[in-house]
């Protein structure tokens, strides 16, 4: 199924790529059949052009007169001459609330150099684990010369929830992790997608067996950063309508075939019900809750769930393609947004700074398989930038360095 999708998409894209090369007398290859002897294929309103053709006039589809490059090879050079304001260093200090970098005595000096160049003040490692492993990560930071530059979130082992002793064990482990220096809880996307209950069934995100964990987070006054599902396109058919076709072609294991996984909507609803049921717990929805392509849905979430915050990791391409709507959103909900990056790659942070800080137009994202479109800057005001970059993270995470900003 994936193979045939590939063929039809390449054909479709080739046509899109080369549309415009058509000349009226060169159209024999694409067949006649159009109105009044025009080349091409007629379609009815609402129908799609056949594979290998594209709509050149209302209701008339035509193939290009030469073999077209595939979407993999099509790299047009933009002719637009636009001002470029590169931003190598963020305008204000930044807390990266969504990192997975574990610092050691070996990589710390180099990491600090990179962070200073970017104006990254604090890097928050969400992969803290629990027990001795977590304690060691915290100790490495505390014993270093940079104890205010790194923080760690703990993790819970969800498999076996509902079984004898699970709750007691995991509640105690999380309590210990926070006593050992963890400043929050991170939940990986396994919860909802892969984790299982003691009886072998899928562990739902809103399973009441998990509530003691969330209540403990409220009691300990630590935020919970939760990654649920993945982009909606990963749950959809991999065909020429899927916005992430190229990514799913390059990384087939990112797809969630619907005969084996819950739907995107199921996971969103479980998560949002869990948020609603634990109003005293502060939640940070990773990757903007995957609502980065739906401003209205993001607004509804924040309007109805006052305990929820959104962080921007790995969804920059969404804000950058809709900069006006998102600038309004970030301004309206400026107390509810946090900065995160996910993958620690110093060369990629400046793309975020540029989208958030400048009003540049039509520039590239750093991964073309995520976003085949261009980005536009939002030019956020300083007050909003500060909240996004560090103030909100510091406010909702008491374990963050509270001074020196």
The contact set with Zn ion (CB under 5 A) reads 342
Nearest-approach distance from CB 378 to Zn ion, in angstroms: 23
Of 147, 145, 227, the C-alpha closest to 194 is: 227
Is 80:376 a contact under the CB 8 Å cutoff? no
Instruction: Please state, in angstroms and rounded to a whole number, the distance separating the CA atoms of residues 217 and 231.
Output: 27
Nearest-approach distance from CB 97 to Zn ion, in angstroms: 10
Signed CA dihedral, 86, 88, 91, 95: sign only: positive
Residue 283 dihedral angles phi and psi, to the nearest 5°: -115, 135
Nearest-approach distance from CB 342 to Zn ion, in angstroms: 4
Nearest-approach distance from CB 43 to Zn ion, in angstroms: 44
Instruction: Please state, in angstroms and rounded to a whole number, the distance separating the CA atoms of residues 31 and 40.
Output: 6
Give whichever of 100 and 374 is closer to Zn ion, judged by the CB atom: 100
Give whichever of 272 and 342 is closer to Zn ion, judged by the CB atom: 342
Give whichever of 226 and 274 is closer to Zn ion, judged by the CB atom: 226
Residue nearest to Zn ion (CB): 342
Give whichever of 264 and 344 is closer to Zn ion, judged by the CB atom: 344
Give whichever of 180 and 342 is closer to Zn ion, judged by the CB atom: 342
Nearest-approach distance from CB 77 to Zn ion, in angstroms: 34
Nearest-approach distance from CB 260 to Zn ion, in angstroms: 23
Instruction: Please state, in angstroms and rounded to a whole number, the distance separating the CA atoms of residues 325 and 220.
Output: 36
Give whichever of 170 and 342 is closer to Zn ion, judged by the CB atom: 342
Angle between helices 166-179 and 131-142 (to 10 degrees): 10
Give whichever of 101 and 274 is closer to Zn ion, judged by the CB atom: 101
Tell me how far CA of residue 385 lies from CA of 110, 179, 323, 355, 388, in angstroms.
27, 32, 15, 11, 5
Nearest-approach distance from CB 223 to Zn ion, in angstroms: 15
Give whichever of 207 and 342 is closer to Zn ion, judged by the CB atom: 342
Instruction: Please state, in angstroms and rounded to a whole number, the distance separating the CA atoms of residues 345 and 314.
Output: 12
Nearest-approach distance from CB 227 to Zn ion, in angstroms: 6
Rounded to a whole number, what is the largest CA-CA distance in the chain? Answer: 81
Give whichever of 188 and 363 is closer to Zn ion, judged by the CB atom: 188
Instruction: Please state, in angstroms and rounded to a whole number, the distance separating the CA atoms of residues 359 and 320.
Output: 10
Neighbours of 21 (CB within 10 A): 11
Nearest-approach distance from CB 339 to Zn ion, in angstroms: 13
């Amino acid at each position: 199924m994936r193979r045939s999708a590939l063929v039809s998409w390449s054909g479709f894209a080739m046509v899109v790529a080369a549309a415009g090369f058509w000349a009226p007398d060169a159209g024999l290859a694409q067949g006649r059949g159009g109105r009044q002897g025009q080349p091409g294929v007629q379609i009815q309103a609402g129908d799609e052009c056949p594979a290998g053709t594209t709509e050149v006039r209302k209701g008339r589809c035509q193939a290009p007169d030469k073999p077209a490059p595939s979407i993999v090879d099509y790299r047009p050079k933009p002719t637009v001459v636009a001002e470029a304001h590169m931003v190598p260093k963020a305008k204000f200090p930044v807390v990266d609330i969504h990192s997975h970098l574990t610092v050691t005595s070996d990589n710390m000096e180099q990491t600090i150099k990179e962070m200073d160049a970017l104006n990254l003040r604090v890097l928050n490692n969400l992969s803290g684990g629990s027990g001795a492993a977590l304690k060691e990560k915290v100790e490495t930071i505390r014993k270093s010369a940079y104890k205010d530059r790194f923080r760690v979130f703990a993790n819970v082992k969800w498999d076996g929830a509902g079984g004898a002793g699970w709750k007691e064990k995991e509640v105690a482990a999380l309590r210990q992790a926070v006593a050992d220096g963890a400043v929050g809880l991170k939940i990986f996307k396994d919860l909802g997608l892969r984790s299982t209950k003691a009886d072998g069934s899928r562990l739902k995100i809103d399973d009441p067996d998990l509530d003691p964990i969330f209540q403990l987070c409220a009691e300990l006054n630590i935020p919970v950063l939760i990654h649920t599902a993945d982009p909606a396109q990963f749950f959809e058919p991999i065909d020429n309508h899927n916005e992430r076709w190229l990514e799913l072609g390059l990384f087939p294991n990112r797809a969630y075939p619907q005969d084996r996984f819950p739907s995107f909507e199921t996971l969103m609803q479980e998560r949002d019900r869990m948020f609603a049921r634990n109003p005293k717990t502060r939640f940070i929805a990773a990757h903007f809750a995957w609502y980065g392509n739906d401003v209205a849905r993001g607004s509804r979430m924040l309007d109805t769930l006052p305990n929820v915050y959104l962080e921007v990791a790995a969804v920059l391409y969404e804000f950058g393609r809709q900069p006006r709507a998102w600038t309004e959103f970030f301004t309206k909900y400026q107390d509810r947004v946090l900065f995160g990056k996910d993958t620690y790659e110093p060369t990629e942070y400046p793309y975020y700074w540029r989208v958030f800080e400048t009003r540049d137009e039509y520039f590239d994202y750093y991964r073309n398989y995520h976003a085949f479109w261009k980005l536009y800057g939002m030019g956020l005001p300083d007050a909003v930038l500060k909240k996004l970059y560090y103030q909100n993270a510091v406010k909702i995470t008491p374990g963050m360095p509270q001074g020196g900003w």
